[in-house]
Amino acid sequence: DAGVIQSPRHEVTEMGQEVTLRCKPISGHDYLFWYRQTMMRGLELLIYFNNNVPIDDSGMPEDRFSAKMPNASFSTLKIQPSEPRDSAVYFCASSRDSEYTEAFFGQGTRLTVV
């Protein structure tokens, strides 16, 4: 398996624009996570899905953020409208449905909002 695949790797956008980050989890994994990493706040869990259903989105910072998982092999994280403070590295991770096994992380998307 190629691992968790995220696209794009880098995104630079202007404030106010819509940004969509994409993730393909590892085949057969039932859990999918979106994290945000910044120098100030470290690694934060934004939302996670189990079998394509959002379980906990309490980490989503604002209504400007939304995430979907239309099928087992694809998820998106959308920011609309984007703001400079959204600049961060966004990671997607996936895991199997069992007692805690490791979460496999993608390489991340580095988002810069100018």
Partner 1 sequence: AQSVTQLGSHVSVSEGALVLLRCNYSSSVPPYLFWYVQYPNQGLQLLLKYTTGATLVKGINGFEAEFKKSETSFHLTKPSAHMSDAAEYFCAVSDMKTSYDKVIFGPGTSLSVIP
The residue from 60, 75, 88, 91 that contacts partner 1 (CB under 8 A) is 91
Q: Does 25 bind partner 1 (CB under 8 A)?
A: no
Contacting range for partner 1; rule: CB under 8 A; set: 15-23, 61-69, 73-81, 102-110: 102-110
Which tokens belong to 85? 């403070």
Q: Which is nearer to partner 1, 65 or 91 (CB)?
A: 91
- Angstrom CA distances, 101 to 30, 32, 57, 59, 97, stand at 12, 13, 21, 21, 8
Q: Which is nearer to partner 1, 71 or 98 (CB)?
A: 98
Q: Kindly report whether the peptide bond that precedes residue 81 is cis, defined as omega within 30 degrees of 0.
A: yes
One of 23, 93, 111, 113 touching partner 1 (CB under 8 A): 93
The pattern of x and - marking residues 61 through 80 that bind partner 1 according to CB under 8 A reads --------------------
Q: Does 5 bind partner 1 (CB under 8 A)?
A: no
Q: Are 104 and 3 in contact (CB under 8 A)?
A: yes
CB 36 within 8 A of CB 44: yes
